[in-house]
Amino acid sequence: MSEYENLLIEHRDALTIVTINRPKALNALNSATLTELGSALDALAGDRHTRVVIVTGGGEKAFVAGADITEMRSLSPEGGREFARRGQRVFAQLEELPQPVIAAVNGFALGGGCELAMACDIRIAAENARFAQPETGLGITPGFGGTQRLRRLVGPGRAKELLFTGDTIDAAEAVRIGLADRLVPAGGAMAAAVAMAEKIAAKGAAATRYTKVAVQRGADMNLAAATAYEAEVFALCFADPEQAQRMGDFVDKRPPRRT
Ligand code: DAK
């Protein structure tokens, strides 16, 4: 039995699949789910066996239909602050996870759900996936990074249009504007995510982690600082036994081996 009430955690060799599992509420994020997600991410951050993480939603209809509106509606300003802090901590943990994280977006990704997908490294959208930031229609601002990550992914004009209008876009449009990275048939998001994750997991584990950190950190630096940082992580690879093994395999014409 899972140690969580609202999450399923499945380890498949070097992959770990995290399923937000409240299908009756379209996987809406209540505070209990956010707390559980924080604990699961803590465990994953220290899990050397997991090379790639996949995040998805339970059931057929939704990835995550947002923060839980029934819980949010009666928040006091104090409670709102606490909810915001807890959520933002969890979303930062997700973004900072050392392993690559793939979102398998299998349905509605609205509000906090769209933000959850955006905090992942790569988004695979099934044809039936729908994306929106409907918060202003509920009289609130997005609070799990939506005003920031959306602009970085799609540019200011498109981000503001989606944020101001709350319009829902389909998976093809999400891919067209850069909000999602891959379009797959309905029902195919998990299979596509697993196939991609297996490819990633077959590469050097430390090299993959360093590559992620270089892309993430470099985004907030100027080019000179970012390429200097890139040189440092490149140097670190030569302290990792996998580099010697993988380069030796190439030179000696052996297939690459995973350590
Ligand atoms: N919260 C709670 N329950 C939800 C929910 C949500 N976000 N979305 C759906 N549900 C529940 C419905 O109430 C319904 O429950 P029962 O009536 O069966 O008990 C069940 O899930 C099935 O939903 P529907 O019956 O509505 O299903 P439909 O197929 O008819 O419609 C829908 C699907 C996704 C179009 C519709 O459910 C919908 O519009 N849902 C709300 C989507 C939404 O507005 N999401 C954004 C929520 S706002 C912040 C941090 C975070 C946020 C803001 C600030 N700070 C840190 C400052 C985030 C805000 C949001 O995410």
pLDDT of residue 2: 67
Distances (CA, A) of 159 to 85, 94, 142, 148, 182: 23, 22, 12, 9, 19
What burial letters (b/e) apply to 199-231, b meaning 16+ CB within 10 Å? Answer: ebbebbbbbbbbbbebeeebeeeeeeeeeeebe
Q: What is the average pLDDT across 91-116?
A: 97
**Rounded distance from Cα 65 to ligand 1 centre (Å):** 5
From 3.40.50.2300, 1.50.10.10, 3.60.150.10, 3.90.226.10, which CATH number describes the 7-201 domain?
A: 3.90.226.10
**What sign has the CA pseudo-torsion 220, 221, 227, 229?**
negative
**Rounded distance from Cα 68 to ligand 1 centre (Å):** 6
Q: Do the beta carbons of residue 62 and residue 130 sit within 8 Å?
A: no
* pLDDT at residue 1 greater than cutoff 70: no
Please give the share of the chain, as a percent, with pLDDT higher than 90: 92
Q: Whose CA is nearest to atom 13 of ligand 1?
A: 25
Distance from C-alpha of 190 to C-alpha of 201, rounded to nearest angstrom = 16
Q: Which residues pair with 153 in a beta bridge?
A: none
In the chain, ranges of CATH 3.90.226.10 domains: 7-201
* pLDDT at residue 149 greater than cutoff 90: yes
Confidence of residue 80 (pLDDT cuts 50, 70, 90): confident
Summarize pLDDT for 160-191 with one digit per residue, the tens.
999 999 999 999 999 999 999 999 999 999 99
- Supply angle C-alpha 21, 25, 27, rounded to 5: 35
To test the pocket of ligand 1, the residue of 69, 81, 128 to mutate (highest count of ligand atoms within 8 Å of its CB) is 69
* pLDDT at residue 50 greater than cutoff 60: yes
Least confident of 70-79, 98-107, 232-241: 70-79
CATH number of 205-251: 1.10.12
Q: Whose CA is nearest to atom 15 of ligand 1?
A: 25
The residues lining ligand 1, judged by C-beta closer than 6 Å to any ligand atom, are: 25-26, 28, 65-70, 84, 87-88, 108, 110-112, 134-135, 138, 140, 142-144
Task: Give me the residue label for tokens 């949010």.
Answer: 72
In the chain, ranges of CATH 1.10.12 domains: 205-251
